Amino acid sequence: MKNMLLEHKGKFALYLVACLFPVFRNLAQIVIVSLIFEIVQRNSMSFFYLVLIIAIVYLILDGAFFVISRLMRISYMRDILLSLRIRAFDKIIKMSYKQFNKQSRDVYASNLINDINTFENSFFVSLINFIFRIAMYVSVMVILAFVNWQLALIIFGVSIFVLVVSKLFEKKTISLQKEVSTANEEFTVNASNVFTGLEILKLNNMEEAFQKKNKKQIAALEGKKYSYNVFTSFQLNFNATIGYFVLIGLIVYLTYQTQAGVGYGLMMLTIQLSSSAIFPLVNLFPLVNVLKSSKAIFEKITNEEAVIEEEEKRKPFVFKEKIDVNQVSFAYDETPVFKSIHFTLEKGKKHLVKGPSGSGKTTLFKLLSHMLDDYDGNIIVDGTNMKLISSTSFNEKVSYVYQDVFLFEASLKDNITLFKPYTDEEVYQACKKAGLLEFVDSLENGIHTLISENGKNLSGGERQRVSIARALCKKAEIMFIDEATSSLNDELGRQIEQTILDLDSTVIAISHKYFDGITDQYDVVLEIKDGYLTKYDGLEYFSEAAV
């Protein structure tokens, strides 16, 4: 977290200065109040006018400094929160498929929204108060050392005592903050499930049952927040009580001192300085505990060491000849999907995967595309075990075309390039090869035309061609295509299928449809049945099927 805070050193320096403005403000107030009490003792009009001028100048400068301080702090906070969101998002993006699927997607949404909001509300409020209080404490202690060194020594002793007491609260504060974060995640996941399945709930008259469950979860979440807030408030109030007892003793002592000839102004200055040292101090250490709990939240949503460490140990993906699947078996829990399958994928060839629904076609995709690695046997890419290959390196050379193509609310170019820096010419060439050029030419702004949310202003065929153009622009060496034509009419289906077969890439496709004169162009057919896989020559397979 330290590195993130110091990313913008110039703004961080300004932030520190802005946090110190309230210190000067409080010290000025202490001086003015002390001067007002001194007026009573001096009984001098000239001194009264002098203090009045000082007070007016202070009020004018105070308003200006407040606005400047606020602007300086907001600018830095905005940059840090932006950096935090990018780091949290980067951590998720860098995860392997297996790592990503260890948690619900809604947990990641909770990290990006709830946890960052919690961090913002707790960390920055605590940080500015921490800087203010420690600066106030140091400033006042220095002044007190000159005014009354005995009092300064007493207050220093109290600060040591409060430090010891606050350390007792530290672990509990961090633990409660983590519990709030976890409760937020659980609530987000549950709410998402309810909204996703709302139609089913209504059709089966189950709204009331789920509403009761949801209310219990909301109550649990608010209970965790309540416990955290009560505990942190207890820390502050406990330390404040210590401060009040010390301050009352000091007031009694200083009142006695006035009888010994100490002036009202000096007495009031000493009381205010003592108060300004004690109360920032008693609130300081609970703030340290809150900052530490915020650090725990930061590490939770940004820690990518495990992700990076795993990737750094892996080898780059190099595919020049073939992928050998050697005696691979796989099961979901106790349910077997494959029973020692064995075959070879050759570079540049078009492979068609066939089999009844539920036979394991999609699972085969996940095994070949590095998404699943908890299988028995070996998948070897030109002599290198797939389990030793970097997911990042693999994904750079592989592309996917699914039946349901996801499109971003961005330009057509951004949807094809996925926001990577390809030139317009590269995008146009990809569109041409994907059969999308006629559609692009019909658009007023061409490839820079805005696509609506998830491509609502595109037809099914256009969406599929955008997905193919992505792969072409990426120059993917392997294309995994899952039922790309199942939801299209025959005419569009034939066009998309022919486009796929004309690609230079190695193709591994799942399809239930057969287009006469097109589908039989596949080089290899991989047929899955009862947990086993049989490899056929495409020409022979379709010739026999025709007979």
Q: Which amino acid is at 337?
A: V
Task: Residue count of the chain, please give it.
Answer: 547
Q: Pick the range with the lowest mean pLDDT from 83-92, 245-254, 338-347.
A: 245-254
Percent above pLDDT 70 for the chain: 77
Quick one: pLDDT at residue 284?
65
Q: Return the closest-CA partner of residue 500 out of 516, 521, 527, 526.
A: 521
Give the tokens for residue 75. 């600018």
> What are the phi and psi torsion angles at 500 (to 5°)?
-60, -45
370, pLDDT greater than 80: yes
Q: Which domain holds residue 518?
A: 322-546
Task: For residue 356, give the CATH number of its domain.
Answer: 3.40.50.300
Q: How far apart are CA 474 and CA 430, in angstroms?
A: 9
Same domain, 339 and 466: yes
Does residue 329 share a domain with residue 295? no
pLDDT-based confidence at residue 325 (cuts at 50, 70, 90): very high
Binned at pLDDT 50, 70 and 90, residue 518 comes out as confident
In a domain, 314, yes or no: no
Sheet holding 478-482, edge to edge: 398-402, 478-482, 506-510, 350-354, 524-529, 532-537
Domain-ending residue, one of 274, 302, 330: 302
Q: Which two tokens stand for residue 507?
A: 């193709």
Q: Which residue among 246, 273, 302 closes a domain?
A: 302
Q: Does any domain span residue 417?
A: yes
Q: Note whether 265 and 332 are same-domain residues.
A: no
Residue 546 pLDDT greater than 60, yes or no: no
pLDDT at 64: 76
Residue 222, in any domain of the structure: yes
Question: Would you say residue 308 lies in a domain?
Answer: no
Same domain, 406 and 326: yes
142-166 pLDDT, tens digit per residue, is: 877 877 777 777 777 777 776 677 6
Query: In this structure, are 284 and 164 located in the same domain?
Result: yes
For 94-126, what is each residue's pLDDT tens digit? Answer: 666 666 666 666 666 777 777 777 777 777 777
Structure-model confidence comparison of residues 130 and 303, the more confident one: 130
pLDDT value at position 436?
A: 84
Are 136 and 45 contained in the same domain? yes
> Contact 533/343 with Cβ under 8 angstroms?
yes
CB 341 within 8 A of CB 335: no
Task: Looking at the structure, tell me whether residues 297 and 329 fall in a common domain.
Answer: no
Angle 462-466-469 from CA coordinates, rounded to 5°: 135
Question: Are both 294 and 327 inside the same structural domain?
Answer: no
The residue with greater pLDDT, 227 or 127, is: 227
**Of 269-278, 394-403, 439-448, 525-534, which gets the smallest average pLDDT?**
269-278
What tokens does 349 get? Answer: 């060839």
Tokens of 85: 């969101």
Strand partners of residue 533: 528
Query: Which residue, chain included where needed, has tokens 């008693």?
Result: 282
**Spatial CA neighbour of 314 closest among 390, 228, 213:** 390
Q: Which of 90-94, 175-179, 479-483 has the highest average model confidence (pLDDT)?
A: 479-483
- Alpha-carbon distance of 107 to 236, in angstroms, equals 32
Burial of 98 (0-12, 13-18, 19+ CB in 10 A): middle
Q: What is the pTM of this model?
A: 0.55
| Residues forming beta bridges with residue 506, ordered by sequence position | 478
Q: Is 307 part of any domain?
A: no
**Other CB atoms within 10 Å distance of the CB of residue 482:** 18
- How many domains is the chain built from? 2
Chain-wide mean pLDDT for the chain? 77
457: Cβ contacts below 8 Å, ≥ 6 apart: 451
Q: What are phi and psi of 399, to 5 degrees?
A: -135, 160
Helix intervals (H) in 259-359: 264-302, 305-312
**Residue burial 431-469, b: 16+ Cβ < 10 Å; e: rest:** bebbbbbebbeeeeebbeeebeeebeebebbbbbbbbbb
205: left (phi over 0), alpha (psi -120 to 50) or beta: left
Q: Which amino acid is at 236?
A: L
What are 229-263's pLDDT values in tens digits? 888 777 777 766 766 776 677 667 666 665 555 55
Residue 311 belongs to a domain: no
354 and 493 together in one domain: yes
In eight-state DSSP terms, residue 320 is: S
Name the domain boundary from 258, 274, 302: 302
Shared-domain flag, residues 119 and 19? yes
Q: Is residue 487 in some structural domain?
A: yes
Q: Are residues 287 and 344 in the same domain?
A: no
Q: Is 70 part of any domain?
A: yes
Q: Are residues 336 and 291 in the same domain?
A: no
